[in-house]
Amino acid sequence: MAHWAEHGIVRVTRMQGKVVVITGGTSGIGEVAAERLAGMGARIVLVARDRTRGEAALSRLRSRNKSLAHFIHHGDLSRISEMKRLAAEIAAAEPRIDVLINNAGAMFGSRQVTPDNLELTFAVNHMAYFALTLGLSERLFTSSPARVVNTASAAHRGNKLDFDDLQSTRGYSGFKVYGRSKLCNILFTRELSRRWSGKGVTANCLHPGFVATRFGDGSGGFLSLGTRVAKTFAISPEKGAETIVYLASSPEVANVSGGYFYQCRPATPTAEARDDATAQRLWLESAKLAGIEE
């Protein structure tokens, strides 16, 4: 159960009977969001790459409420074939999906390329959001009203997309490339909301704040050191998860779509993140890269 204070009235939100699919629910803000939503009565479907961490997260969820048949699908979201396989597997297993939370993300100190020839940050942080959402589109439409929640970041600020170098082959900087992937999250949310208007499925994204999670620990080199030091000033995962839970469950945003939120309130991303032509072009390029027909 969650309480949202509005005009002095405390609203109680329940999620009984709702199914929430979440990526990155094995750690950090995704793990807290999954536990909170489960506490409100939602059945959680985790998507996890690491079997041990995934099973541990699933057992924690199951131990809190034995009557909800929480479930897990395993797969590495850096591979396009895996994004598609996971979407097909989840769609086959779940007759309805009320909320899809795309939250798994990472940052890498050095440039790495996936077997699909994609730069790794772009693949995990953007392409997985894109391919999983499109792969689950029919389920979301038939479950209407449904919601898509994308974890973005204020790290999008100061960045611009270069369509001649989406895979960051030139002058790689881990933090810049991460920032661009988070810009993609906002642009994707914007275009998704536009394309799906009238389908009964909303799409919103958020900045969770600077949160002390495992984020950055595996980035390598200076990035890991830098994030470790910076985390002494960070907020808790419990606080960081609040806007995800809000967007996934609050009646206040039931009919809001295309927004970027921070601290459970609408916020304004940069002009680059509000550019409809860029959002459309990113969609077309992503569909081509994923081999998804429109």
Ligand X SMILES: NC(=O)c1ccc[n+]([C@@H]2O[C@H](COP(=O)([O-])OP(=O)(O)OC[C@H]3O[C@@H](n4cnc5c(N)ncnc54)[C@H](OP(=O)(O)O)[C@@H]3O)[C@@H](O)[C@H]2O)c1
The one segment of 63-71, 97-105, 110-118, 163-171 that binds ligand X by CB under 6 A:
97-105
User: Which residue stretches of 65-121 are H helix?
Assistant: 80-93, 120-121
Rounded distance, CA 180 to CA 178, Å? 5
Task: Pick out residues in 47-66 that bind ligand X (CB under 6 A).
Answer: 49-50, 53
With respect to ligand X, which residue has the nearer C-beta, 143 or 177?
177
Task: Pick out residues in 184-213 that bind ligand X (CB under 6 A).
Answer: 207-208, 210-211, 213
Contact 229, 238 (CB under 8 A): no
For residue 23, list its beta bridge partners. Answer: 47
* 77 makes contact with ligand X (CB under 6 A): yes
* 124 makes contact with ligand X (CB under 6 A): yes
* 175 makes contact with ligand X (CB under 6 A): no
Task: Pick out residues in 222-251 that bind ligand X (CB under 6 A).
Answer: none
Query: Letter for the amino acid at 17?
Result: G
With CB under 6 A as the contact rule, the residue among 43, 86, 103, 139 that binds ligand X is 103
- Give the distance from CA 27 to its chain's centroid: 13
Which residues have a catalytic role annotated? 178
With respect to ligand X, which residue has the nearer C-beta, 143 or 168?
168
With CB under 6 A as the contact rule, the residue among 22, 45, 100, 104 that binds ligand X is 104
Structure tokens at 209: 């704040």
The site that binds ligand X (CB under 6 A) totals a number of residues, namely 27
Task: Pick out residues in 149-168 that bind ligand X (CB under 6 A).
Answer: 151, 153
With respect to ligand X, which residue has the nearer C-beta, 87 or 143?
87
* 24 makes contact with ligand X (CB under 6 A): yes
With respect to ligand X, which residue has the nearer C-beta, 208 or 258?
208
With CB under 6 A as the contact rule, the residue among 13, 78, 137, 204 that binds ligand X is 78
Q: Give whole-number Cα distances, 87 to 19, 83, 183, 186, 204, in Å.
A: 15, 6, 23, 21, 20
The one segment of 34-42, 75-83, 91-99, 109-117 that binds ligand X by CB under 6 A:
75-83
Task: Specify the 3-state DSSP secondary structure of 231.
Answer: helix
DSSP state of 234: P
With respect to ligand X, which residue has the nearer C-beta, 178 or 196?
178
Q: Are strands 19-23 and 43-48 parallel, antiparallel or unpaired?
A: parallel
Rounded distance, CA 113 to CA 65, Å? 40
Q: Give whole-number Cα distances, 184 to 53, 56, 108, 156, 266, in Å.
A: 27, 31, 17, 8, 18
* 26 makes contact with ligand X (CB under 6 A): yes
With respect to ligand X, which residue has the nearer C-beta, 42 or 143?
42
Rounded distance, CA 51 to CA 41, Å? 25
* 214 makes contact with ligand X (CB under 6 A): yes
Q: Closest approach of Cβ 106 to ligand X, in Å?
A: 5
Q: Closest approach of Cβ 150 to ligand X, in Å?
A: 9
Residue-by-residue DSSP string for 238-291? HHHTHHHHHHHH-GGGTT--S-EEETTEEE---GGGG-HHHHHHHHHHHHHHHT
Residue nearest to ligand X (CB): 28
DSSP state of 124: I
**Residues within the interface to ligand X (CB under 6 A):** 23-24, 26-30, 49-50, 53, 76-78, 103-106, 124, 151, 153, 207-208, 210-211, 213-215
